[in-house]
Amino acid sequence: MQLSDYANRYETIRFERSNGILEMTMHSGGGEVQWNVSRQGHHNELGLAFADIARDTENKVVILTGTGSTFVAARDENEVVPEDNLHDMWDRMMDESAAMLEGLLAIPVPVICAVNGPALIHSEIPVMCDIVLAAEHAEFADTTHMPNGMPPGDGTQMIWPILLGPNRGRYFLLSGEPMSAEEAHRLGVVAEVLTADRLMPRARELATRLAGFPRRSLKHAKTLMVRYLRHRIRDELEIGLLSQGMAIL
């Protein structure tokens, strides 16, 4: 797999690579992300893209970010899904959810997330990355599940209690209350909080430092660091998605 094989494959992701550092920028029509669950949307394309990235041995470090002043803060109100009933749609969504979360952890090199603004939908994705940097105006919340009466069964129910502790994690998920970048930093979720104009330069600085190591070392370090999370995802994601489906179907 080479970058040329997937550089223009996706409608919602833009790729650029220099010196082994792959920048992966989510967008919607070139603008800020409007989260989309159609087959051409972020929910499907992220998992497929993670698999392509993992197979490309020229990638030594990945930087994941959004577009404009938000990471993922709004849904696409004009999305069109191919299924004519929720049952068939949920079958697809379960497969895509597994591909997205397992695929992110399966990338065999460090992933730096530059959270360029509010992460309110699938906020577990940025904080599952190996290094999490956040702009000062970023915030984290789960606005799509319990605030709408839907159980948080698609991975977020594991990641946030691991990061925040069981009690604070349950509060975060049940309340839907946002957490500021500074609070996330205080609680150890975010490594650094930066001004918006310093976010990508700092991500590139860290990526350049890591890219100076042999890829073999980066690969084995990554394997060790995400082993626990990969086991938890494998063990609990399916039952979470099934429980979520039971509540909404």
Q: Which residues are catalytic?
A: 124
Place of tokens 């150890």: 188
Residues 6+ apart with CB under 8 A from 90: 245, 248, 249
- How far is 217 from 209, CA to CA, in rounded Å? 13
